[in-house]
Structure 1
């Protein structure tokens, strides 16, 4: 995470917690205007919402989590209209990284000491799991066929929520901790952020903002190895999105998305392009629908955020 913004404090405390994009080989170009199928390219979110995570699907529906009170907003990507599907869980609660599955479940990284699973249809909380001691930060999540994996930004570990044979959630004591070992470099503060799978699905990728690189993590042992890649360092790396072999790395303080083309095992990445857009206002995470990438603008440069602060999500073209 960037040192120039107070995101660590915003996330940890939970209080002050169309147009096309520019595609350029390792550098930004001027944006180009383009409308595609009449779908909106900018989506207005509720004032004061403070978005951070995004998940899309099933269908053309995007889900956004709030840093202000852990509420979840659902938007129809074909119209741009939306509504809250969950109310406030309190100003001491957060919804950070998000992922949805085909069963209509939304997995929520809940910040300090917790994670949740929410029903995307009615907004009911299906399960809540304690994770850590409250001095940690459950930040992002990725789903595999066998489990949900969550990063902890203040501890060298992942949280693993294993699924049953038919995808069932475990009981309240079913969450386990997976220590990160090997070459993992834990910083004195905010370290692990976004998480994804490798193209072959055999391992996990975690962006380490302290080291400014990606790590490939064995999901069985926690052994972490640096991923060699070209292009800029990832000290501002936030959300990760893998589409085939292209890994989109949101560089939030830089108002950019760097795209790396990975080998199948995820041990090497070649910088392909950088996406920029004048509508970026500290984007944090990314999700895809069709030929577009959608990113919420967290506006971490607005300090303190107010109930009247406006927020948007923007769509850019997929590489």
Structure 2
């Protein structure tokens, strides 16, 4: 087990001058300047973008990755206007993303890697090789403590990457109740438990939720009340003891109440919207949940149109 280190600051990675520049940029026009009720609830992405991940920090900007080339697109939630922040490169993929409070952007790179970007410039700061083996699918990421934790849809393991600096990757094998289905995607979305002591992971196949111990990797299957399965479970979002599960090909978000020990998830309601077209992941800003439409059932070509939408909570 890798020792716990003090939480690094962004100054460690970017230096004081870059941090000062970020503060000026991020502070211009904060979310409190306008009411979100007038903000757009739908905004376009570039044709052929192939989005799957979205993340939003404390400022009204959404970051969305591309499966086509690993690019990063940033949209101003107040106006719906966006730009390509990072153009990507041949062979790169950007799936799940999470924005750190220090402005570092952690990206699941699918093919065994994870990258850390400067969210101000898009520059790739660090690339971590999570596994040397082929056939892995690094899918989603969440931030907890001094690490960013990544799921691998094709292996019974999580990977912990040091936040804010170089360091060793921690591999956490999944044991206990975990079921790894051969040749299909299993582990997908990931969030921390409310007490910060563990991780909640959704398995798209067979459609279960697990509470994973950070110390041992033991995965305890969570009891579902009000439904039998979260099949096609993709991105997760949690606020307090409310867990949102994006079920991509079902075009819905299931909203669960978690019990105090995170052993049971009780279905409270579902959210649907005619604009949902195979949504994959979600991020919250104020009273809205923003989702990207991956459109897996449509042609995935350079001419295919893509967008992100917001639904009210």
Partners of 1:249 and 1:75 lie apart in 2 by 23
Tell me how far apart the structure 1 counterparts of residues 251 and 65 of structure 2 sit (CA, whole Å): 20
Q: Is residue 84 of structure 1 aligned with residue 78 of structure 2?
A: no
Q: Does 1:277 align with 2:277?
A: no
| Stretch of structure 1 that moved more, 190-199 or 282-291 | 190-199
2:64, 2:134 → 1: CA distance? 23
Distance of 1:81 and 1:108 partners within structure 2: 22
Give yes or no for the alignment of 1:56 onto 2:51: no
Residue among 207, 225, 228 paired with 1:230: 225
Deviates more, 1:253-262 or 1:263-272: 263-272
The aligned residue for residue 290 of structure 1 is: 286
For each residue in 1:207-252, what CA deviation from the matched residue of structure 2 results, as whole angstroms up to 9, or x when unmatched? 0122311010001210100001213311110000001111000000
Q: Distance in 1 between matches of 2:62 and 2:155?
A: 29
Deviations 1:146-203 (A, max 9, x none): 211100000000011134xxxx3233xx112110011111101211110011112211
Partner of 2:179: 185
| Range moving further from structure 2, 135-144 or 224-233 | 224-233
Aligned residues of 1:58 and 1:100 also touching (Cα < 8 A): no
Deviation of 1:36 after TM superposition, in Å, equals 5.4
Q: Alpha carbon RMSD of aligned pairs, Å? A: 1.2
Q: Tell which has more relative contact order, 1 or 2 (C-alpha 8 A, sep 6+).
A: 1
Q: Is the 8 A contact 1:198 1:265 kept in 2?
A: no
Secondary structure of the structure 2 residue equivalent to 1:253: helix
Q: Supply the distance in 1 between the matched residues of 2:59 and 2:38 (Cα, whole angstroms).
A: 17
* Contact 1:199–1:263 (8 Å) recurs in 2: no
* Mapping for residues 116-265 of structure 1, pairs under 5 Å: 116-132=115-131, 133-163=133-163, 168-171=164-167, 174-189=168-183, 190-232=185-227, 233-265=229-261
Quick one: distance in 2 between partners of 1:249 and 1:53? 14
Gaps of 5+ in 1: 1-34
Q: Greater helix share, 1 or 2?
A: 2
Does structure 2 retain, via aligned residues, the 8 Å contact 1:58–1:101?
Answer: no
User: Structure 2: which 5+ runs fail to align?
Assistant: 1-34
* Number of residue pairs aligned between Structure 1 and Structure 2: 276
Is 63-72 or 226-235 further displaced after alignment?
Answer: 226-235
SS at match of 2:182: coil
Q: TM-score, normalised by structure 1?
A: 0.84
Q: Does 1:41 align with 2:41?
A: yes
